[in-house]
Amino acid sequence: MKKLFCLFILLFSHATFASDAVYTGFFSNKAIDGYDSVSYFTADKPLKGHSEFVTSYMDADWYFSSQENLDLFSANPTKYAPQYGGFCAWAVAEKNDRAPGDPNQFSIVAGKLYLNYDAQVKGLWEEDIQGFITQGDKNWPKLLKNKR
């Protein structure tokens, strides 16, 4: 029983999802919980994607609300994909670590999409967005390189 418990902890620890470049959660391969990343830019809000409009990018499945948005993403995924793989931007910057990003807690800064863990963390993020972006941009490559 002890071995089973240890295996469970290993399988579902923070480090398990930390090895991915895109946050998809534990039991899914959907980037940003199946929300349409293009809609943040075209509709100014997150829209749920549909299974008929899906593509693969960076080993994750990306869902879209329309063929038009899928085409926009396919033509330039780095323009529409959230920064830091959809992990919480504040956590990447402030804690040099990964935490899930909530698709409903977002900011678009200089044409880039950032997600935060929750509304409270988004409030912290908003206290120094530029400073956090500068630090997050420094931390993110190391977090990718040092996959756990």
From residue 144, alpha-carbon distances to 21, 24, 36 in Å are: 6, 15, 24
Task: Show me where the domains of the chain are located.
Answer: 22-79, 82-148
> CA-CA distance, 66 to 2, in Å (whole number)?
48
Measured N-to-C along each axis, helices 119-126 and 129-145 cross at an angle, to the nearest 10 degrees, of 110
> What pLDDT is attached to residue 147?
60
Q: Are 41 and 5 in contact (CB under 8 A)?
A: no
Integer Cα distance of 135 and 113 in angstroms:
16
pTM for the model stands at: 0.86
Average pLDDT over residues 46-70: 97
pLDDT tens profile 105-144: 999 999 999 999 999 999 999 999 999 999 999 999 999 8
